[in-house]
Amino acid sequence: MEAFRAVTCALRDRYLPYHEGRLMWRKEQIDYNLKLPPWLCQPYVREPPNEHMHNVEEGSPRKRKYEDEDGNEISRKRSKKLKRIARRPNKATSAPKRSSDRCHDCPNPLGFKCEYKLCRQCCRTKCYVENLDCTGHRNLTKTRRQIAKEYEAKRKDIQNVI
């Protein structure tokens, strides 16, 4: 509170000579858009509600309405999507569509990149039993088993040396 009082006293001391008439105030000294000198309070007068509503109705920017080719109102997101499709009508969709192909052992859908044309669960079982790898499902059973055998062989060699 003391800092606030100090600021107000400094402002009073600065503008008091102008207010009492000892110094002349020139409007060119300041860039503010004030009707009265800066040491006097500037009132803010609101316009009456009916004038305000009239001004809002006349001059306010309205929300932009988005319409499709038939003139139906649509969302902004849908409008952007239609524009994007119009720019590249022949562009393939990024995600492949799910096929109705099913795994021969179960009702699950086939993996797109599976080498054995199986679902993930059946492919995992097949790779485990037959010691195979499937890069489509990232099932690397054969590779991991080889790495484990090499690690075990190195470990036995180290124990034999010691």
76: helix, coil or strand? Answer: helix
**CA atoms of 144 and 134, how far apart (whole Å):** 12
Domain limits of the chain?
100-161
Q: pLDDT confidence of 110, banded at 50, 70, 90?
A: confident
| pLDDT digits 0-9 by tens, 55-75 | 887 776 666 788 888 888 888
Residues in the chain: 162
Strand residues in the chain grouped as ranges (E): 66-67, 73-74, 133-134, 139-140
Has this prediction a pTM greater than 0.75? no
Q: Which of 130, 100, 98 is nearest to 115 (CA)?
A: 130
Q: Which residues contact 7 (CB under 8 A, 6 or more apart)?
A: none
**CA atoms of 155 and 162, how far apart (whole Å):** 11
Q: pLDDT confidence of 131, banded at 50, 70, 90?
A: very high
| pLDDT digits 0-9 by tens, 67-100 | 888 888 888 899 899 888 888 877 756 555 666 7
Query: Which residues pair with residue 73 across a beta bridge?
Result: 67
What's the pLDDT score for residue 132? 94
